[in-house]
Structure 1
Amino acid sequence: MIKYEIFINPKWLQKLEDDIWEDEQVPAILKIGKNRYKIWLKYRGNVIRKKKKKSYNIIFQNPYLFDGAHEIHLNAEYDDISLSRNKLSLDFFDRIGVISPHSKHVLLYMNGFCKGIYLELESFDQHLLKKRNLADGPIIYATNYFANFSLLSPENELKTSLDEGYTIKYGEEKDLTLLENFIEMINTCSNKEFAKEVSKILDIEKYLRWLAGVVCTQNFDGFIHNYALYRNSETNLFEITPWDYDGTWGRDLHGRKLEYDFVPISGYNTLTGRLLHINPFRTKYKEILSSILENDFNLETLEPIIEKQLETLKPFIRIDPYIKMNEEHFEKEKNVFLRFIKKRNNYLKKEMASL
């Protein structure tokens, strides 16, 4: 596992600690092998900020790019016993044809102190588009639970603005207006008009592949949060990508076990509901999900991938000062994955008849 070393003036580190919710960046040095990079550093995430092992956002100053990226995330994965759910989920999305950030585990040190195992994630931004040879286009993050494609909040209260829950990562204000217009259309068009117009705004097949990925991995937050929208400038269609998938594969975001049938096969945001109400889109979703269950989301495909991932991490468990378990306990987590996959696969196949 590659070693990352951060060197930071203690006064800047204390500044981060003084207000864990502050998003102001502080200067630091990142050393990877023999190379040193001047960076900006800050905490990232929500629930994780309250934990002892925090996650970090790194923005490169000099040089401006590192391996084609200007920004990366170092996720603590603190509440995931396996430290693997996020990576396995994002790799799974990539495998089923959904744009997804790439990731790798690293061993992080700060001023000589071992902070343990972290997951380095690509930032979904214009640099990622360039690395993947994808068309340029605006990127909008779903930053909270109001990003449910509805006129109402999750508490069933009227929203004050249709852009609630969204933040522009790359683009201009007019791009956010296009999204607002789309949300208005989703909520006001007749079924006939919606069926005719939605394919002019949204890449339907890619959205349905994303939906299948959320449903298989069972990310409870994935339908109204934990995603980004990208408007492909060649097609002028919105595409969708996942992020922060640690609460998956049989556990929630707090690390508690989650039953295999907790998330319905149809998901639960407004856009998904409208799409699945249209027969051709519902039929296409069934075809996509059926193929994924047969070829990608099953024990035969996933067990060796999970085993390899856990075996790679196991030698470093005792080095991480925030992990309070031994290798045997870590090894047992594999059974949680396998039991979930088997039961979830069977459950979804039975639920196909309800679509």
Structure 2
Amino acid sequence: MEKLPRYHIYIHPLDIRELRNDIWCEDPVPATLKVNNKKFEIDLNYRGSHIRKLKKKSYYISFYKPKTFRMANEVHLNAEYNDPSLIRNKLSLDFFSAIGVLAPQSRYVTLNINGKNEGIYLELESVDENFLLKRNVPKGAIYYAVDGDANFSLMSDLDKDVKKSLDVGYERKCGTDVDDQYLHEMIMKINTIPKDHFEKEIPQYMNVNQYLLWLAGVILTQNYDGFVHNYALYRNENTGQFEVMPWDYDATWGRDVHGEIMEEDYVPITGFNTLTARILDVQSFRKQYQKILSRILQHQFTIEYLKPKIESLQQLIRPYVLEDPYEKDRIERFDQEQEIILQYIDKRAEYIKSHLYKLN
């Protein structure tokens, strides 16, 4: 059995009481992390939105002494509690990497807090300066899409009115005020470039081929929230173009954000958001997207390609699921998930193939 890294965290009882008193508080508490006999002073708080209410919490960790761990200043520990398989997020991010989209790395770890086994977690790499450095890609600003207003529109998804600012819905992870102006300009141009000029002008602001690769990934994994949320924006300083990266993909491969079954035809082949609509309104981009989908349907989005990866992930974590105090009583459900994911892949592939003609 492959051994997963073991994280031991100690939080002072007064601090852990403060943490639990208000699950929505963004103020971190100090803690100590031990990994392989190495000690780290860290800040820790809960992460996520609706998942904070679940009994198995997810955590955000930032390192301050020493300031880095595995070339990172921070990591996210996801409980994946609404996903009975515990693998959808990792399977998705690995899938995006396989089709040519920059995506966070992830790995499974086990977590112990103040001597109590908290079970298995998915450690997610943060999308920040270190993310770019590790991949040897150009520096650039990074923004997190933090709510539904990150819809590439001038109109708010949340209050159905004109946005008060063009950067609502985004949180700048790295960059400067100048980068905010580039973000504003990009969103404005998406909405105001005349139809006859869109094909020629939008590549000045957005890497269209990369966007279409990302769109294909969202469509195939069927992340309903992925069009206006659950992504990061990166502005490549060398090209001046924005690129999109996936983030938080547990509600995929046939299950929704609540862990309920999502039918294979729930998300249309054309997706939704203002930028997607405008790009797919251009015939050459539409044909490019069609070719991308067809290629992925032949190679990466197949039972032959994905089944060994699913089996490998489940075999890796199953012994730890049996030891997880929050998951061990749901082991039968865990074991059934492989078939549910495979059925989804088969049905979703057929659905997409039968709708490729809409991109003609």
If the TM-score is normalised by the length of the shorter chain, which range does it land in? over 0.9
Task: Specify which of 54, 65, 75 is matched with residue 51 of structure 1.
Answer: 54
Q: Aligned residue for 1:310?
A: 314
Q: How does 1:167-186 map to 2 (within 5 A)?
A: 167-186=171-190
The 2-side partners of 1:199 and 1:186 are apart by: 10
Normalised by the length of structure 1, the TM-score is: 0.98
Q: Aligned residue for 2:124?
A: 121
Q: Aligned residue for 2:288?
A: 284
The 1-side partners of 2:333 and 2:187 are apart by: 46
The 1-side partners of 2:167 and 2:142 are apart by: 14
Calculate the aligned-residue CA RMSD, in Å.
1.0
Q: How does 1:215-254 map to 2 (within 5 A)?
A: 215-254=219-258
Q: Aligned residue for 1:85?
A: 88
Report the CA distance shift for 1:324/1:153 in structure 2 as closer, same or farther (over 3 A). Answer: farther
Q: Aligned residue for 1:5?
A: 8
Moved more, 155-164 or 28-37: 155-164
Moved more, 289-298 or 321-330: 321-330
The 2-side partners of 1:326 and 1:60 are apart by: 33
Contact 1:215 1:264 in 2 (8 A): yes
Q: State the one-letter code of the partner of 1:248.
A: T
- What SS does the corresponding residue of 1:145 show, helix, strand or coil? coil
Q: State the one-letter code of the partner of 1:125.
A: D
Normalised by the length of structure 2, the TM-score is: 0.97
The 1-side partners of 2:276 and 2:325 are apart by: 42
Contact 2:120 2:320 in 1 (8 A): yes
Q: How does 1:191-230 map to 2 (within 5 A)?
A: 191-230=195-234
Q: Quick check: 1:108 aligned with 2:100? A: no
Contact 1:77 1:118 in 2 (8 A): yes
Q: Aligned residue for 1:68?
A: 71
Over the matched positions of the two proteins, sequence identity in percent amounts to 50
Runs of 5+ consecutive residues of structure 1 not aligned to the other structure: none
Deviation at 1:266, TM superposition (A): 0.6
Contact 1:140 1:176 in 2 (8 A): no
Contact 1:74 1:118 in 2 (8 A): yes
Task: Specify which of 28, 31, 41 is matched with residue 28 of structure 1.
Answer: 31
Runs of 5+ consecutive residues of structure 2 not aligned to the other structure: none
Q: Aligned residue for 1:141?
A: 144
- After superposition, the C-alpha distances for 1:286-322 in whole angstroms (9 at most, x for unaligned) are 1111100110001010011101111111111121111
Q: Aligned residue for 1:154?
A: 157
The 2-side partners of 1:253 and 1:129 are apart by: 29
The 2-side partners of 1:181 and 1:53 are apart by: 41
